[in-house]
Chain A
Amino acid sequence: MVLEQLTGNLVQGLVLGAIYGMATMGLSLIFGVLRVVNVGHGAFIMVGAFVTLWVFSSLGMNPVVAAPLAFMVGMALGFIFYYSTIRRLVKAPELASLLATFAMGVLLEEIVKLIFGSEFRGYNWVTGRIDLGVTILPVSKIYASVGSLSIAVLLYLWFKKTRSGTAMRCVVEDSEGARVCGVNVDGVYALSFALGIGLTVLSGVLLTMFIPVGINPYMGGAYTLKAFVIAVLGGLASPYGAFFGGLVFGLIENGSYTLFALLPGVEPFALTRFLSFLVLLLILLLKPTGLLGKK
């Protein structure tokens, strides 16, 4: 019985993990290229959720339509924040960029609160369900995780095959060397930041396709910590690592929830979050380059 439940939950975990991975790729991309930790990460996910909500509730359109829209909103936000702030902080002490990205997150939360109010919202997108034997999956969840996977593959191809992707990898390896070779480093920084934010906002759309409730301006906080754990799991600077980190994290989260629920007298949901913190600390201590990272 427990084993069956566990298998079912692990399947759910894998599907959710794809979305977690997607939601973390932007964070890793920005850290990898600019060495800036986006502490306001969760707020950008929240913006994606509100774009979906707006597209679905006000325009009455399919949440899939929200994806490209959210990506463009994210790119725009990324460019605005890069050229107004981050550009001057790339070489500054960490304190400055950490606080600046945190402030960006707070700013977004407050603007969204001003427009949409602070109550919890949700939407209901009926797509039917598929019975997998061990567990039942709504089709919208499958859309979301297949979407995540295809975006991850697209990003991989873009990195490997395009000129700007190659330039980005050069800057990661050696920014001075890239500059000498004629790469517009500032442009690469701007593009990476915007792309990272774009992916993050887009992931907010996929996340709400998976969990279409609990949308409110402050929903991002929980995802910031999760994204940190996942990013560290996959090696903080690697977007693909982040994707696999997401899969692993989805499995840990759903699997441990099933097991904690068996213990009497505890709150399994909170303990799952405590476990994610333990995982974070252990990895930081034992292998800060990430489970899948290079030595």
Chain B
Amino acid sequence: MKQCAARYYPLLPVLAGYLTMFLMGRSLSGMWQLMAMLAFYCALGQAFNIFLGMTGYVDFGYVAFLGVGTYGMALAITRLASFEGLGLGIIAIGLLLALVMATLLSLAVGAVALRLRGAYFAIATIGVNEGFRYLIEGAKIWNGSEGIIFNAEMNRIFGRGLASALSTFWADVMVFIIAAVAAWVTLYYMRSKIGYALTALREDEDAAKVMGINVTRYKIIAFTTSASFAGLIGATSWALKTPYVFPPEVFEIHYTVEAIIIVLLGGAGTLLGPVVGGLIYGLSKYWLSVIMPGFQLLIFAPVIILIILAFPDGVVGILRKTLKNTQLEKFIE
């Protein structure tokens, strides 16, 4: 029993982080939006880390899964708006649709792109993101480049009060939950056969293959898990929060890069990394946008280069080195 509990010690600082953010947002006035933004970045990092951190593969098209999730929720709300009596059930259907669509896309992409390695994989995934966006625009699927705006449907189904509560509060609460669940799944994977297989793969894919590890299978598991969380984040943090979806916005490559920065900043492949990275990134972005609006990227670009050169293991990597052989060691993973 004690053994079993000890397995989950590293989850404590992660969950404590989310709880602190949540409570600060609730009790201090005017803080909720900031905390919600931080939670979004942490969740994004947490979900992306399952693939990037564990496999070492760079998916430059990650945001496509958030985009598809956003469409899932948007489609559920607009297509089911005329059915009376579904009420909040529509949100559940939307989440499910987002999950299914992101998972299906990731299976399709994974089956093709995961045969490639390194630079070729990165290039293929940029192509997937852009290609999917232009397919939606070009073939006019789901309203094409006009996008979907569903403010009116939200108000009609849920009533003005509930619709506004959904977008200003409950959407963010769901993001907190998704982030926590993603953290739990990460730890579960780390402690299971999947984690060991992926570590072997990250170190030396050919050697892992020779050892008899079915690398393709484990890569697809990590890829699909990571993508389905992205779908849920898109459905909540994007669709429910701002009731519209436009292809150029939801397939914007900068979000993918933000996710990569968060994971690297905190420490790729660590459990606590995305939380630390998300907090540092979110807070500094917020702060920079206050003191010099419009030029955050000018500051961030050299910072990214510096981090890559000077701290390739991220903050948690350094933390783990300093805390080695202390009581706190078991809490940092």
Contact = CB atoms under 8 A, between A and B. Distances in A.
A31 B253 CA distance: 22
A103 B254 CA distance: 11
Contacts of A273: 130-131, 134, 138
Contact of B305 (A98, A103, A221): A103
A270 B304 CA distance: 32
A271 B138 contact: yes
Contact of A281 (B124, B304, B309): B124
Nearest to A285: B112
Contacts of B189: none
Contact of A93 (B56, B126, B261): B56
Nearest to A222: B130
B119 A111 contact: no
A48 B300 CA distance: 23
A282 to B, nearest CB: 10
A265 interface: yes
Interface string A271-286: 1111011101100110
Contacts of B295: 110, 114
A281 B295 CA distance: 35
B298 A288 contact: no
B71 to A, nearest CB: 16
B308 A96 contact: yes
A228 B127 contact: yes
B167 interface: no
A114 B304 contact: no
B301 A95 contact: no
B245 interface: no
Contact of B304 (A103, A221, A271): A103
Contacts of A89: 308-309
A88 B311 CA distance: 13
B17 interface: no
Interface string A211-231: 000000000010011001100
Contacts of B276: none
Given A106-B297, A221-B253, A288-B116, A269 B127 contact: no
A267 to B, nearest CB: 5
B60 A270 contact: no
Contacts of B302: 103, 107
B122 A99 contact: no
Contacts of B101: none
Contact of A110 (B60, B301, B309): B301
B263 to A, nearest CB: 9
A277 B145 contact: no
B287 interface: no
B11 interface: no
Interface string B112-147: 110110111011101110110011011110001100
Q: How big is chain A's contact interface, by range?
A: 35 or more
A104 interface: yes
Interface string B296-318: 01101110110011001000000
Contacts of B119: 31, 35, 37, 94, 98, 236
B58 interface: yes
Given A225-B130, A281-B112, A100 B304 contact: yes
Contact of B137 (A102, A228, A267, A288): A267
Interface residues of B, number: 44
Contact of A111 (B128, B298, B312): B298
Contacts of B304: 99-100, 102-103
Contact of A274 (B58, B134, B264): B134
Contact of B139 (A99, A102, A266): A266
Given A266-B139, A284-B120, A288-B120, A229 B298 contact: no
A147 interface: no
B264 A267 contact: no
A277 B134 contact: yes
A35 B308 CA distance: 17
Interface in A251-295: 260, 265-274, 276-278, 280-281, 284-285, 288
Contacts of B301: 103-104, 106-107, 110
Nearest to B302: A107
A267 B138 contact: yes
A184 interface: no
B80 interface: no
A135 to B, nearest CB: 24
A273 B268 CA distance: 33
A106 B297 CA distance: 7
Contacts of A288: 116, 120
Contacts of A229: 127
Interface of B: 52, 56, 58, 60, 112-113, 115-116, 118-120, 122-124, 126-128, 130-131, 134-135, 137-140, 144-145, 253, 257, 260-261, 264, 268, 295, 297-298, 300-302, 304-305, 308-309, 312
The 5 closest A-B CB pairs, nearest first, are A277-B131, A270-B138, A271-B138, A107-B301, A110-B298
5 contacts: A39-B126, A267-B145, A268-B138, A274-B131, A284-B123
